[in-house]
Each structure stands twice: as structure tokens, then as C-alpha cells.
């Protein structure tokens, strides 16, 4: 009987508790609405690198419940009870928040702290209070190139390469807005060969045009300045090395317009002449290598010509014996081009006049 009584009392207590809890919930919702009106603190803004540690407070959290009872304030979140620990501390009784160190926006740009208000018995006095601290950027970082840039460009194109520096200051602000300029070009001649687009860092060839046959490598000293290049900006120097690639802008030339030589009767498979091609393009490339043709006087197929790739000479061979009874006069024409198509100009040609001799004379 006593047991049944105790059980009944317990059930009634439980019901009372549930009703009470529902009431507390309702009050909490009321508190939330009230909090919306009174306790949403505007974000606190603090400059990086500035010493606020002597200030009594940089923000204040407060519950108006402390009119009725003593309220104890604590802070939670990164910067309080999480790394970086105790950068922000709150006076337990007044709710004043102090900062204990100097802030660096490039490490943490915002601290989302939560203020907690409790009664002396540990129960929550207030729904948690958001305290957001935003760190305002200062221009304390120079642009950084981080590497040497290399680019290559052929003699006729215009876009060379792009250099990029990074700046740790706040993106989208002048503190991180980089302007590029070329401060030095080596070699200096034959003029200012490149320009750089101020904000993109793209390097272009000036109209002057490049000539690999003059210089095949340029070294540019590039400056990156934040504050969009203003005088008070931070600067960094970098290097871009630009290799000039060959194009076939030099046609092959023959040393002479007119060659003369002799051929023997009744001989064949002999070299009768070597004709040298001169070319300023890059040696041992198809822009330099000559391609010879006999364009006149070889109707009977007596001669062949091929290139000696080491010397760039045309090796003219007599490949069939000549019958001096039938042929009185040998007048060949030889033309030369490069293996690669020419970008500028045209190939060369020469005439070869052979005397018909008994002696073999390689002129």
C-alpha cells in the first residue's frame, strides 16, 4: 500500500515536472524573441597589429537577468576556450571582454565567440550570446612572386607569358591589389622590347618586334606593388626570363649568283661541285637546313643534288655519263629553300655553267 502511494506521488511529480518544463520552454522562446531585440551585438571590428590590450573592454556581453540575480559570464569558441586560447577573456561579473594579444588578420580574420550567462547555481540565465569579432586588414604584406618566371616566344608572336604575385592581405581590397611594372630589361638593346599589363601581369612584345638573330634571351626585372601601384604600397621584385624562339625569317642565300665548273666525258657517280647555303636562322634546325633543287638543264637526269646536313652544302653529283657528241653545252640552274617553310622572303637560286673537259676540276 505504501509502495502504491509512493508510486502515485512519483507520477504526480513527473507530471508537474513536465508541465514546468513546458513552461520553461515557452519562456525560453520568449527570451529568444527578447534577445533578438536586445542581445544581437553588432560585430566588433578591431584592426590587426593594433595594441588594444590596455583597453578595459573591446566589447560587452550582458544579460538583463543580472538585475534580478547574479549572472556569471564566460566565453567559448576559438580565441577563448579553444585555440588561440584566451586571446579574448571576459570579466565574469561585468561581461566586459578584453583582448590579450595583438591580432593578425592573416592568421584569423574573424572570431565567432559565444557568450554564456549562468546563474550562480550553474543554470543558464540567457540564451547564448553571439559575439563576432572581425579583424580589419592593414597593408602589412608585400606581394610575393614565389618563383622565377620563364617564358618563350617566337620572333613573330606578341603574348609572352604572365607573371603572378600573391598578397596575403585582404582579397578585393587595395591592400592586396597588385600593379606590375617592368623596371629593367637585359640586354637593353635594341629598345624596349616588352610591356606588362598593369593588373594582369601579362607580358607582351612591343611593336618593335623581336629578333632572335640579335638576342635569344631577355631577362626582365618585374616589380609588383600593392595599393594598385601607389607610392605607399609594398613592393616585391621578381624575374622573368624570356627565351626567343627561332622562326624561319631568314631565307637561305647562295654565296654566288653564278658558278662554273667542269665535267669529264664518260664518268659518272662523281661529285662535281659543292654549293654552300648561308642562313642566319638557328643552326641545325629546319629553319636553317637547305633544300636544293635543280630547276633547269637537267632534263636528261644527268645530275642529282642533295644537302650535306653538317655543312649545309648542296652536293651536286653527275650520276650518268655525258656523251659529248650529243651535249655541247651544260647550263644548270640550282635553287635553294629551307626544309621549313619560310615566314619572310624567298629562297635563292644560281646558274651553273659547265665546261666540258677531259680534266676533272672541282671549282
Q: Rule CB under 6 A: which residues touch ligand NAG?
A: 91, 93-94, 110, 112, 154, 156-157, 247, 343
- State the Cα–Cα distance between residues 188 and 209, nearest whole angstrom: 14
Q: Report the residue number, 236 or 281, with the smaller CB distance to ligand NAG.
A: 281
Q: Report the residue number, 155 or 348, with the smaller CB distance to ligand NAG.
A: 155
Give the nearest distance from C-beta 70 to ligand NAG in angstroms: 12
Q: Report the residue number, 12 or 110, with the smaller CB distance to ligand NAG.
A: 110
Strand order in the sheet with 59-60: 59-60, 96-99, 88-90
- State the Cα–Cα distance between residues 58 and 53, nearest whole angstrom: 9
Give the nearest distance from C-beta 251 to ligand NAG in angstroms: 14
- State the Cα–Cα distance between residues 233 and 221, nearest whole angstrom: 18
- With CB atoms as reference, the residue minimizing the distance to ligand NAG is 157
Q: Who contacts 109 (Cβ-Cβ below 8 Å, separation ≥6)?
A: 134, 135, 137, 170
- State the Cα–Cα distance between residues 119 and 165, nearest whole angstrom: 54
Q: Report the residue number, 252 or 314, with the smaller CB distance to ligand NAG.
A: 252
Name the residue with cell 633543287.
293
Q: Who contacts 3 (Cβ-Cβ below 8 Å, separation ≥6)?
A: none
Give the nearest distance from C-beta 347 to ligand NAG in angstroms: 16
Q: Report the residue number, 125 or 247, with the smaller CB distance to ligand NAG.
A: 247
Give the nearest distance from C-beta 12 to ligand NAG in angstroms: 44
Beta bridge partners of 98: 89
Give the nearest distance from C-beta 226 to ligand NAG in angstroms: 24
Amino acid at each position: 500500500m505504501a509502495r502504491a502511494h509512493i508510486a502515485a506521488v512519483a507520477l504526480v511529480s513527473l507530471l508537474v515536472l513536465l508541465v514546468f518544463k513546458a513552461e520553461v520552454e515557452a519562456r525560453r522562446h520568449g527570451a529568444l524573441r527578447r534577445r533578438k531585440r536586445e542581445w544581437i551585438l553588432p560585430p566588433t571590428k578591431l584592426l590587426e597589429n593594433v595594441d588594444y590590450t590596455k583597453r578595459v573592454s573591446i566589447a560587452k556581453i550582458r544579460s538583463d537577468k543580472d538585475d534580478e540575480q547574479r549572472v556569471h559570464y564566460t566565453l567559448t569558441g576559438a580565441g577563448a576556450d579553444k585555440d588561440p586560447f584566451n586571446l579574448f577573456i571576459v570579466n565574469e561579473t561585468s561581461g566586459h571582454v578584453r583582448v590579450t594579444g595583438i591580432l593578425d588578420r592573416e592568421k584569423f580574420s574573424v572570431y565567432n565567440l559565444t557568450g554564456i550567462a549562468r546563474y550562480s547555481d550553474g543554470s543558464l540565465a540567457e540564451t547564448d550570446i553571439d559575439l563576432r569579432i572581425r579583424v580589419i586588414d592593414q597593408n602589412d604584406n608585400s606581394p610575393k612572386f614565389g618563383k622565377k618566371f620563364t617564358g618563350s616566344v617566337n620572333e613573330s608572336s606578341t603574348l609572352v607569358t604572365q607573371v603572378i604575385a600573391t598578397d596575403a592581405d585582404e582579397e578585393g581590397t587595395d591592400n592586396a591589389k597588385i600593379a606590375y611594372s617592368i623596371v629593367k630589361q637585359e640586354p637593353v638593346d635594341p629598345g624596349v622590347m616588352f610591356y606588362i599589363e598593369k593588373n594582369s601581369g601579362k607580358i607582351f612584345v612591343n611593336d618593335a618586334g623581336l629578333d632572335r638573330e640579335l638576342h635569344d634571351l631577355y631577362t626582365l626585372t618585374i616589380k609588383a606593388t600593392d595599393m594598385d601601384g601607389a607610392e605607399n604600397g609594398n613592393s616585391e621584385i621578381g624575374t622573368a626570363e624570356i627565351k626567343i624562339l627561332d622562326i624561319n625569317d631568314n631565307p637561305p642565300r647562295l654565296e654566288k649568283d653564278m658558278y662554273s665548273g667542269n665535267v669529264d666525258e664518260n664518268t659518272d657517280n662523281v661529285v662535281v661541285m659543292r654549293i654552300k647555303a648561308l642562313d642566319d636562322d638557328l643552326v641545325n634546325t629546319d629553319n636553317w637546313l637547305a633544300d636544293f633543287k635543280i630547276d633547269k638543264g637537267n632534263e636528261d637526269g644527268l645530275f642529282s643534288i642533295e644537302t650535306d646536313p653538317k655543312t649545309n652544302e648542296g652536293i651536286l653529283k653527275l650520276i650518268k655519263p655525258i656523251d659529248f657528241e650529243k651535249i655541247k653545252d651544260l647550263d644548270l640552274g640550282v635553287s635553294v629553300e629551307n626544309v621549313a617553310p619560310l615566314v619572310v622572303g624567298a629562297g635563292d637560286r644560281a646558274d651553273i655553267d659547265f665546261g666540258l673537259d677531259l680534266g676533272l676540276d672541282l671549282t
